[in-house]
Amino acid sequence: DTEVTQTPKHLVMGMTNKKSLKCEQHMGHRAMYWYKQKAKKPPELMFVYSYEKLSINESVPSRFSPECPNSSLLNLHLHALQPEDSALYLCASGLRAGSINEQFFGPGTRLTVL
Amino acid sequence: DQQVKQNSPSLSVQEGRISILNCDYTNSMFDYFLWYKKYPAEGPTFLISISSIKDKNEDGRFTVFLNKSAKHLSLHIVPSQPGDSAVYFCAAKLANAGKSTFGDGTTLTVKP
């Protein structure tokens, strides 16, 4: 299984809602990532988890709250988002956070904040 | 300060010809460079990589060249196929760093 899966594919939420994005991989990777991508822009790193511990937080606002319950799962909890947070949210995994190996990306969740 | 730049937002080539995508970087400490391809509504997929100790890496139709003195790398696709039409991102990594730095991407269109 060389796939990273993400649910849901699409999400529309109001500014007062609480929702969660989910990501799963079964490749035994110990690094997992959340990226945000706006149209015609590169993926922008948000968080890195290494061995289930948060190792990098790229100064992301607290309305985004990551969680890594185990080595296969990564969640992103959303609360009180703003319309400018609308974007494609990509999850990725890699062998180890500090390795030179490539990352495997999921298909993304298209988030719209109304 | 954008450390990885892809100065051509788009490139159009004829099927069967060579596609050359370019990438420049400013941080001479980068150890590893990767190219990803992204189709609409999908996540990026890894294509090919090169270590800073090499100047060329080849995988089938795809070859990446690295010129460290110029801080420049390029991806050559030959022959180009319509299925290669996608956005191509260049990325760079420091050894033992947890993150990759991505360029803005180049949209390649291969015309039949």
**pLDDT tens string A18-46:** 999 999 999 999 999 999 999 888 999 99
Section A56-76 average pLDDT:
95
CA-wise closest residue to A66 among A30, A21, A104, A24? A21
- CB-nearest to A105 from B31, B41, B43 is B43
B66 touches B52 (CB < 8 A): yes
- Model confidence at A101, in pLDDT bands (50, 70, 90)? confident
Would the CB atoms of A108 and B103 count as touching at under 8 Å? Answer: no
Write out pLDDT tens, residues B60-80: 999 999 999 999 999 999 999
Which residue in A40, A89, A103, A111 has the most chain B C-beta atoms within 10 A of its own C-beta, making it the best mutation to test that interface?
A103
* Mean pLDDT of all residues in A1-14: 91
pLDDT at A1 over 70: no
pLDDT of residue B42: 86
pLDDT tens, position by position, B1-58: 779 999 999 999 999 999 999 999 999 999 999 999 999 888 999 999 999 999 999 9
Taking contacts as CB-CB distances below 8 angstroms, the residues of chain A near B93 are 100
Q: How far apart are CA A44 and CA B31, in angstroms?
A: 20
- Single-letter amino acid, residue A39: A
- The predicted pLDDT at position B98 comes to 76
Is B96 a residue whose pLDDT tops 80? no
CA–CA distances in Å: residue B103 to residues A39, A73, A82: 14, 28, 26
The answer to whether residues A75 and A20 touch, using CB atoms and an 8 Å cutoff, is yes
Q: Does A53 lie at the interface with B, CB-CB under 8 angstroms?
A: no
- Distance between CA atoms of residues A12 and B13, nearest Å: 38
- Distance, in Å, from the CA atom of B3 to the CA atom of B102, rounded to the nearest integer, reads 8
Distances (CA, A) of B35 to A53, A102, B52, B57, B87: 27, 9, 14, 12, 10
* B57 or A1, higher pLDDT: B57
